Every structure is written in structure tokens, then in C-alpha cells.
Structure 1
Amino acid sequence: MSNGTEQNSPVHKVWKPELYKIQLEAPTPKALLRDDDIKEDSFPDYYGYEYHGVMDHKQSETLLNDKCDGSYIVRRSPGATDYYTLSLRFNNRTKHYKIYYKPNASGGHFLKEDFKRFDTIHDLVADGLVNFYMQIHAAPIIQAMMSQTKSSYQQSPYMTLNRRKLRALSNDLRKSLKYDNQPPMNDNVASITTSLTTALLTNSTETKATNAQKQNEENMNHLNTNGQSQVSIGADDIDVLPVVYQKSHKFKIHTFKGLNWCELCANFLWGFTAQGVKCEDCGFIAHNKCSELVPAKCVPDMKKIRGVFGSDLTIVVTLHQCTIPFVVRRCVEEVEARGMLQEGIYRVSGFADEIDALKLALDRHGEKTDMSESAYSNINVVAGTLKLYLRLLPVPLITYHAYPTFIQSTSCTSVGEQVIKMREAVKQLPPAHFNCLKFVIEHLNRVSSHHAVNKMTEHNIATVFAPTLIATPPHLTDLSQEIFVLTSLITHCQAVFMN
């Protein structure tokens, strides 16, 4: 940072410029150009005068022997068919790499599939030189990043810059949940009565690096991870604030423009392309390896959320500071007020255009949406809207992770064993999914209690809701197991969801 940075600026405290300074010292690409034309039947027109035709490695080393670091040529190795060779001078040695090119939209120059792509060979070499240079000259800093034990999520740039905002959010949550008498969810989430920002500002003791450091390779992807920061998420300096909150970040490889640093370890994201990852929901920036240590406490940016239909369940309950999404709660209230005795409730479809209109209204007006009988006289429209909301969840209410345990319950030999297995399964659900599933299943149990009139037994309801609530594999057409699971869940909901 410049000397003009204010002494009390939080940026001054979090930005570590050492790696950026080292990157500036790295050698730059210097193409060694040929001085004559090359006559080849298959001349690669995507290379220029840096291409020297057919040449073996000894000839290329002779050509580059007295050249400065960063000098390079492109050649075709004798006998090569589907690749060309980059010969590059670095640290008084000549290195050789197979390089490829694809002209399509996602193509470019690259070393191997599923790796960084570059518009030009110059860019590929520049990025490689930086990584080589960092490997040698930044090794002590990277090693310190790897061995940190005191630096924590608490002291990360993200928390330094956002602590005040998160504390204010926490106070709002404390007020909104003050009169919420929801019972604790389960053993795994015993502290559900503490709130969202507790988990944001405190430690997740289960957060550990899941991948060991890969063996060093003498290749340009040696430091593609941009530093394997083994920063532990310490439990010191815990701010106890009010709802255990879990939502995984949606990290995607990202190419950053300008100066950017990791929001966990505060070190510079070096390189020129695909330097790190960025969360699509909250914008958290990190090195690839640092991202593995970031707790699952993603707080999405409200500006990135458009409506509630099709949005992640955890995001919705977080942004709206509620336990049950208002769409689910309002629809259930309407059905229980005027649809419990409706024959075929949830089985009979409402008019598609009216369901679309109600969906649009809920996305646009939220809690203020008029769902009364005067606005939607056909209760099947409200019931269909609830099914649509649950069907559009990116992660189904019964998640992919919990699905196998639910299916295992079908093989139990007694009702008691089956209930125990389903208790185990619901404990695997994220808090938002657990709360919503419990609310919906208990509602469906009440609906089925009127089956003599509405003709909707537990099995009939399960047949309707199985494809909506359960994360069934796409190729699966026989839903008999899923229907059995849901039937049992509705029938024995009090025992399964008991405290």
C-alpha cells in the first residue's frame, strides 16, 4: 500500500504486500524470434516468430544457453503429433513443456486439460515465470502461511473489515428471535438457540484442511494453488452472539484484475490469471487452499438474491431472518385454514397461470402478498405454489448428503429401527433444511388426519411429494423406496423429530 494509507485504516492492518513486491521482481517474458520463414505443411498459425519449427531439446538448449531468464521459444519436437514444446530459460536452466492450443470459446494456450488457459503464449510464460520466481524467493513467506496457528478467521481481513456490520446484524437477529420458542433441532445442532452471527464470528472446530499438500512438481502449475495456507480457525477471542448458521460458500476459480489479496490469510493473490477463488454468493476471495479452511458461514449479498423461488434455502432464511421461509409458512397457513377438507388437496393441480401469478407476487412483494380467498379462491393454486417452491430449491429439502441414510431406513425390520435410522438421517440435514422439513412433514401429517374426507392418506401424500422433497438421482424412475420413506416420515413424524 502507499505511504498515504491512513494509520487507522483497516486496510492498512490486513494487507500484506510482501508477495506483491516479490512478484514485481520476477523476470518477464522475452520471446527469441527466428529471422527467417519456416516452410511446414502444418504450420501453426496461432504462433508467430517465436515458433522455430522442428527442433530437438539439445538444439533448443544451445539456442537459449546464453540468454537471460524469461527468454523462450516454441518448437515442434521430432515425432510430436498433437502438441508443441515450450522451451523456457529460468534460473540459468532451460525448461521444456508440452503446450496445447484450442481455438473454441473456452480454449486458448494451456499446459494440460483442466488447467489455466491463456490468450497468448506471452501470457502463459509470464504467469509461469511469476510462479517459478515465487517458488524460490517467496518460500519463507509461503512456509509461514502454511504453519500459522495463531491467525484465525477472527483476525482475517474479512472479519477485520466486516466485524461491525456483522455485530449489528447479530443484534437485529437477537431481537427478531427473542420470542422464537422453537425447540432445539437435534444433537448435531444442539446450540440452535444461539444465532447466525455466533457461527460467523466464532470457530467451527470441525473446520480442517481436507487435502494434504501436493508433491512439488517442476512445472508451471507448481504454485497454481497460490499458497497452501494452513491457517487454523482458532477459538480465541470468541464473540458470543445470537442461531448456529451453516451455508457453504460457492467458490469458483476466478481471474482477478488489479491488486487482490486473500480474505483469510491477507496475502497477495499472485499470478495473472486464475489466481484464486471467489464465492458467487457473498464475494469472499481466497487462495485455492485457503478456501478449504473457510468455515461454512457464507452470508450472501442481498443484491445477488433475486426473489425466493429457486434460491438456496439457507440463504432465504438468513436474509429474511426467519426459521421457516415465509413462502412455506404462508402457504401452509392458507391450506390449513381452508383446504384441509378439500378432496385431493396437493394431488389436484391448480391453474398454471394462477400459480405463476402467485409465484411472481411472492417474489415481488414477499410477506405482504395477498393470498386470501378473495385473491386466490382456488386453494389448489396455493398448494401448487408450495409444491413449486419446494421443487425449485437448488438443494432439495432432503439433501443429497442425507438421502442414502433415509433410503437405508427402508431395509429396517421393525418400525422402531426405522424411526432410529430416520432420526439419524434428519440429523444430517443443515439447520434450515431440518426446520423446514419438520414444519412441512408435520403439516402433511395433519392433512392426512383428514383422509376420510380429503382422500389424502399418508401414502397418497407421499406419492405426490416424493419427487419434490427427496434428492432422487436423475435416472431413477421407480420411486417406491422414496414413497415408503416419506410415508413413514409423515406417519411417525412426532417420533422422528422429537427433541
Structure 2
Amino acid sequence: MAASSNSSISGSSVSSDPEDYQPPIWKSYLYQLQQEAPRPKRITCPQEMESRPKYYGREFHGLISREYVDELLGEADGSYLIRESQRQPGTHTLALRFGNQTLNYRLFYDGKHFVGEKRFESVHDLVTDGLITLYIETKAAEYIAKMTTNPIYEHLGYTSLLKDKLVHRQSRGPGEPRKVTFQKDDNTESHQNAITTSPAPPSPHGALKDCPEKQHSYDKVHNFKVHTFRGPHWCEYCANFMWGLIAQGVRCSDCGLNVHKQCSKLVPSDCQPDLSRIKKVFSCDLTTLVKAHNTTRPMVVDMCIKEIELRGLQSEGLYRVSGFSEHIEDVRLAFDRYGEKADISANMYNDINTIAGALKLYLRDLPIPVITFDVYSKFIQAAKIPNPESRLEAIHESLLQLPPAHHETLRFLMAHLKKVTMFEKDNFMSAENLGIVFGPTLMQSPEQNALATLNDMRHQKLIVQLLIENEDILF
């Protein structure tokens, strides 16, 4: 991202015509202030201090009074030293001159130096970063408070690139994986993001038939993490400079969006994960994976189920019999390395239990289970309802609270498992047996209580059993 330190922005907009597109113009006021910030000036101790910790240098002055500190620091902003605290012997204080006063901070060391959240390799870097922050917050407090009120996010940079990515991905050929339609249909009253799905069959269950259909919206929150930027960086939400030496802002690890920490709270849930940032398929968040591949379900689920239905529906003990663990691990590595190009055909893995085992492993390793932690308790409570009609109603209501990608994955899986039960005379796998296998795989208690988890197992089994048996009604 190129940036000019001499430019500013006010009410910029972007034309829909690509030829008229102008690159973002970044606001440089805060960058200029950082350049003006006082520089650190270390005040060295004239004699060697025997009590000096090995991780401090000559800036350590030992046990001295605050009055003497003021005398040593003088009037120059940026001068600093370290002293031992008089009030708490054995602890250390960073004394820093700024704004015609001496500021005292409790100083810590755990392999790195810190007085707050940020950790630094040297005291000099800590002071440099602190002076930049103090100077900018002093000079531009009102500006900082208002800098998110006129964001460029809606008009420049990331969202424009997002639209380009979607148009490019939606231009795939007819033989490629099924695609999500993210564009809004202006002719619909709801203006919801739509997904092309097959119409559901009429429900024979009167109570469920009139329930609203699940609205599919693959919105995804950004996965922001504190990030240290090398060289000048500007916020892609407000267009202002991200100041400081380290941890200047946050970066979305899924799409690469760079913003101030305070701006991250205002960014919409429109993350479009970049495949180049997805390091692995297994153990990747389900919604992140489907958005990265622009599919309605994880391709692992689609590919494994296609292979199993092609050659394994009559296999005795399907999903109950374990495949060889080393072969299952090979399948996992193939998906992580090659994605949808992974070869899981009979030529590579003749034993269908290997593919079934890989599918179970994928579902089990999801950081957020298919039936998410947020709605887990609602499903468990539904399983405890004695009346069959009311129980199905409660399960259906719980299904509607699943994130769309999770709901679609569960629907597709249950339709497949229903098909497995149609070959029960060959594979000996009833809905109850499949519930025993898939209950703990699809549902994991958010509580780490082993006893509670053990007590929930029969309810987990019952939920999956009912989802399979009533797949045509519940979905």
C-alpha cells in the first residue's frame, strides 16, 4: 500500500467506472506529528551501580529521590532514567520528562521491557514509542476522537477490492464448485444476501411447515490481531496514520485488513478471507473456509461425502469402523496442501473407512463445532423435552440460530446420513448408531466438565438421531 506523507483527504469518493478510479489519499496529519515528537535522551549514571539489574544499562541510577530525578532530567522533553522505587524497594520506575513535568511509570521486565500492554526489546524503544504516543495524544486529542466519523472504508480500498474478488470468483465455469450469490437482489423486499439452494420439500409436519425459512447470509466478522507494521502504515478504515514503533494497530489474519484498534470496532462484518492466508484446511473455522473458497459448504465435506456415496454406502460399519490412522492423516495433509485438488479416489485410498475417518476428523477438529457452542445448550434442552412434537419444534428453533455456513453443512450432512440409513441392511448403520458416532463429533460442550460432558452424551446421540430421521422436516 503506497502512501504519501504530504497528502490529506476530505470527503473522497470512488467512481463506479474503473477507468475513473482514484487510489486512496491518506491523511498525513498524525504522521507529521510523529515526525515532530521529542526524541529520547538517556541520562546516564556517572558511577557504576552494583545493584543495577543486568537488563538495564547506565540509565539506571539506583535509589534516588524524586527531587534529584527532576534535577537530573532538567527541562528537555524526552530525557529519561531508571531508578529504584523508594516506596517499594526492589521495584523500578521509569522517570520521563514530558510537557514540563516528570512522569513516573512502574517498569517491568519479563524478557522484554514494558509499562503497559506493549513489550519492547529495549528501554530506548519503549521510551521512543511512549514519547510518540504522548505527543500525538497531547497535540491531537480532539482530532483522534473525531477521526472515525468520516471513514473512507465504504468508498476506498478494501471494499472495492472485495467486490472485484467476488466478481472474479463468480465468473467460474459451470463445472466448478457451486457458488454463493453475495450480490443483493433489488427486486426482493428483504434485500438479504441470497444463496442458490434447492427448494425444500413440503413438510408433512404441520407445526414446522409454517416456520420461516433459514436466511442464509455468509457475513463474517474480521479476525483482528495486534500487529507490528514495518514502515509507515495507514488505517484502511479512517485513512489516518497508525502511529508508534510497535503494535500500531490490528490486522485481520483472514483477509489482511489493517486498521487502528479503535477503528476495528466499527468495521462491518464483511470479511472476505484470502486463500493465500488460509494456512490449512483442517482446524480452520468453517465460515472462514467456505468464504475463502466461495462455496456453500466446506469442500472437505462435499468431496468426502461424494466419494462415500459413490463407493461406500453398503460398507459394513460405515463411520463406525475406523480406518488406518496413518492413512487418515495422509488425507488430512492432502487437503491442507492441495485443497480441492486433493486426490481421495479409490486409486489412492481403497478403504472407504479412510475417507469416512477423514470426514469425522475434519468435523471433530473444527475450532467451533458444526452445532456451535452458542446454541449447544438449546439443543441439549430440546433433547430433554418428552413430547415428540414439542421436541422437534425446539430442535427446529435451535437450528435457525446456527450460523448459515454451519446450518448448510449440517443440512447436507444429515441428508447424506439419511441416505446411509437407507442401506442399513448392508451397512448395519441405523440413525441411532450414527447418532452415537456423530453426536460427540458435531456437538461439543462449551464446559470443560468431564462429568457434564458424559451426562450429555445420550442427549447428543438423540439430537443427531432425530436430525437424521426428520431431515426432510427439520431442514
Scaled to the shorter chain, the TM-score interval is 0.7 to 0.9
Q: Given that residues 157 and 266 in structure 1 are in contact (C-alpha distance below 8 angstroms), is that contact kept between their aligned partners in structure 2?
A: no
The residue number in structure 2 matching 1:165 is: 164
Q: CA deviation at 1:294?
A: 1.7
Correspondence for 1:38: 49
- From 81, 84, 89, give the equivalent of 2:92: 84
Report the alpha carbon displacement of residue 156 of structure 1 after superposing the two structures with TM.
Answer: 4.3
Cα distance 1:316–1:78, how it changes in 2: closer, same or farther (>3 A)? Answer: closer
Counterpart Cα distance in 1 of 2:113 and 2:154: 40
For structure 1, list consecutive stretches of 5 or more residues without a partner in the other structure: 182-188, 196-242
In structure 2, what is the Cα distance between the partners aligned to 1:384 and 1:300? 27
Matched, 1:244 2:253: no
**Change beyond 3 A, Cα 1:423–1:128:** same
1:97 aligns to what? 105
* Match 2:251 to one of 245, 267, 278: 278
In 1: Cα distance, 2:322 partner to 2:339 partner:
23
Report the count of equivalent residues: 430
**Corresponding residue for 1:230?**
none
Q: How many angstroms apart in 2 are the aligned matches of 1:158 and 1:493?
A: 40
Partner of 1:494: 472
Q: CA deviation at 1:466?
A: 1.9
The alignment partner of 2:383 has SS state of helix
Cα deviations by residue, 1:181-223 (Å, 9 ceiling, x for unpaired): 9xxxxxxx9835269xxxxxxxxxxxxxxxxxxxxxxxxxxxx
> What is residue 460 of structure 2 aligned with on the other side?
482
Structure 2 Cα separation of the partners of residues 361 and 177 of structure 1: 18
Q: Which residue of 1 aligns with 2:155?
A: 155
Partner of residue 310, structure 1: 283
- Compared CA separation, residues 286 and 170, structure 1 to 2 (3 A): same
- Residue 141 of structure 1 corresponds to 143
Mark the CA change 1:117 to 1:364 in structure 2 (over 3 Å): closer, same or farther.
Answer: closer
Per-residue deviation at 1:19? 0.5
Equivalent of residue 258 in structure 1, options 216, 231, 234: 231
Identify the residue that residue 52 of structure 1 maps to in structure 2.
61
Which shifted more, 360-369 or 449-458?
Answer: 360-369
Match of 1:418 in 2: 391
User: Which among 294, 299, 307 is matched to residue 321 of structure 1?
Assistant: 294
Alpha-carbon distance between aligned partners in 2 of 1:179 and 1:126, rounded to the nearest angstrom: 50
- Cα deviations by residue, 1:392-433 (Å, 9 ceiling, x for unpaired): 333321222222222222333422332232223222322221
Q: Does the 8 Å CA contact 1:156/1:266 hold for their aligned counterparts?
A: no
Alpha-carbon offset, residue 283 of structure 1: 1.1
Evaluate the alpha carbon distance shift between residue 397 and residue 14 of structure 1 in structure 2; reply closer, same or farther with a 3 A threshold.
farther
Deviations 1:324-374 (A, max 9, x none): 333322322333344333321110112334434444445555555555555
List per-residue Cα deviations over 1:454-490 (Å, max 9, x = no partner): 3222221111112221233455351223222222222
**3-state SS in 2 of match to 1:429:** coil
Q: Deviations over 1:57-111 (max 9, x none)?
A: 23323433x4211111211122424520111111111111111112xxxx31111
SS at match of 2:288: helix
Matches within 5 A, 1:344-383: 344-363=317-336, 367=340, 371-373=344-346, 376-383=349-356
Q: Distance in 2 between matches of 1:466 and 1:93?
A: 64
Aligned to 2:315: 342
Aligned partner of 1:17 among 19, 23, 28: 28
The alignment status of 1:119 with 2:128, answered yes or no, reads no
Amino acid at match of 2:157: P
Q: Distance in 2 between matches of 1:79 and 1:4?
A: 49
Q: Which residue of 2 aligns with 1:205?
A: none
TM-score w.r.t. length of structure 1: 0.77
Query: Which AA in structure 2 matches 1:489?
Result: L
The partner residue of 1:448 within 421, 430, 444 is 421
The one-letter code sitting in structure 2 at the alignment partner of 1:52 is H
Counterpart residue type for residue 75 of structure 1: R
**SS of alignment partner, residue 69 of structure 1:** coil
RMSD after superposition: 3.2
* Equivalent position SS for 2:300: helix
Q: Name the amino acid aligned to 1:34.
A: C
1:193 maps to 194
- Matches of 1:167 and 1:55 in 2, distance apart? 64
Query: Any unmatched runs of 5+ in structure 2?
Result: 13-18, 182-189, 197-215
Map Cα deviations across residues 33-72 of structure 1 (whole Å, 9 max, x no partner). Answer: 2222334xx42122222111102323323433x4211111
TM-score normalised per structure 2? 0.81
| Counterpart residue number, 1:287 | 260
Deviations 1:142-197 (A, max 9, x none): 12214x1x53631243235x25623533652798799989xxxxxxx9835269xx
Identity %: 40
Shift of 1:380: 2.0
Match of 1:135, SS?
helix
Match of 1:61 among 65, 70, 82: 70
Q: Given the superposition, is the C-alpha separation of residues 171 and 382 from structure 1 closer, same or farther in structure 2, using an over 3 Å criterion?
A: closer
The aligned runs of 1:166-185 (5 Å cut-off) are: 166=165, 168-169=167-168, 171-172=170-171
Give 1:375 deviation, angstroms: 5.1
C-alpha separation between the residues in 1 aligned to 2:295 and 2:286? 11
What corresponds to 1:233 in structure 2? none
Letter in 2 for 1:193: A
Moved more, 244-253 or 302-311: 302-311
Q: Which amino acid letter does the alignment assign opposite residue 61 of structure 1? A: D
CA distance in 2, matches of 1:142, 1:480: 55
The 3 A distance-change label for structure 1 pair 352 and 77 is: closer
The one-letter code sitting in structure 2 at the alignment partner of 1:84 is H
Residue 108 of structure 1 pairs with residue 112 of structure 2 = yes
Aligned match of 2:437: 464
CA deviation after TM superposition for structure 1 residue 270, in Å: 0.5
